[in-house]
Structure 1
Amino acid sequence: MSAIIEIIQGIGGIFISLINVYIWVIIITALLSFVNPDPYNPIVQFLYRITNPAYSFVRRFMRTDMSGLDFAPLIIIVGLQIIVVILSTLLYKL
């Protein structure tokens, strides 16, 4: 039985790590929006393709553009951090 719990905790740890990587991708994309990079750069296109679905999901439910600043990355990061805390707590309790 303990082997199954360790497998579940391992998969959960990988999932938490992926969420943390996605948080960093959102932070990098938000910082890039301040410098207005070349839109034809493949790295910039990749970052925008990864983050735009999450941005559009949040924007569908609430207005995020206030005073010229887009708060969608902040809302997504806070939501993902809440998920990480809940998932970590659940995995620790196993």
Structure 2
Amino acid sequence: MGIFGELIMVVAQVFNLIATLYIYIVVARAIISWVNPDPYNPIVRFLHSATDPLLDRIRRALPISFGAIDFSPIILLFGVFLLQRIVMIILTRVAYSL
């Protein structure tokens, strides 16, 4: 593996880290939604601003909810896990082929 392969591996690791952090953010948002948090808390505002764009799209596309249970975070987590795995496989194969 040459210098370009190493560079692609670094990009893959950075992407993996960002995807993992986003997974933690979505899980934290789901846990926070079980309680009644202060909407003006900076952490709550960050969690909402980081996850609302994708969660709102999922809610519009697939209006799946049973009573008070919202399944959009589960669908988002599945999508992020899937994207993370596919991108890591592709980038790793490309890196080792260089």
With normalisation by structure 2, the TM-score equals 0.88
RCO higher in structure (CA 8 A, sep ≥6): 2
Query: In the alignment, is residue 16 of structure 1 matched against residue 16 of structure 2?
Result: yes
What's 2:7 paired with? 7
Between the two proteins, the alignment pairs up a number of residues equal to 94
Q: C-alpha offsets along residues 63-82 of structure 1, whole Å, 9 cap, x if unaligned? A: 13223200000000001101
Matches of 2:47 and 2:73 in 1, distance apart? 13
Q: C-alpha offsets along residues 18-71 of structure 1, whole Å, 9 cap, x if unaligned? A: 011001000001000111111111111111111100111111211132232000
Where do 4+ consecutive residues of structure 1 move more than 6 Å?
none
Equivalent position amino acid for 2:22 in 1: Y
Equivalent position amino acid for 2:88 in 1: S
Structure 1: runs of 5+ lacking an equivalent: none
The answer as to whether partners of 2:65 and 2:71 remain within 8 angstroms in 1 is yes
Aligned-pair Cα RMSD in Å: 1.3
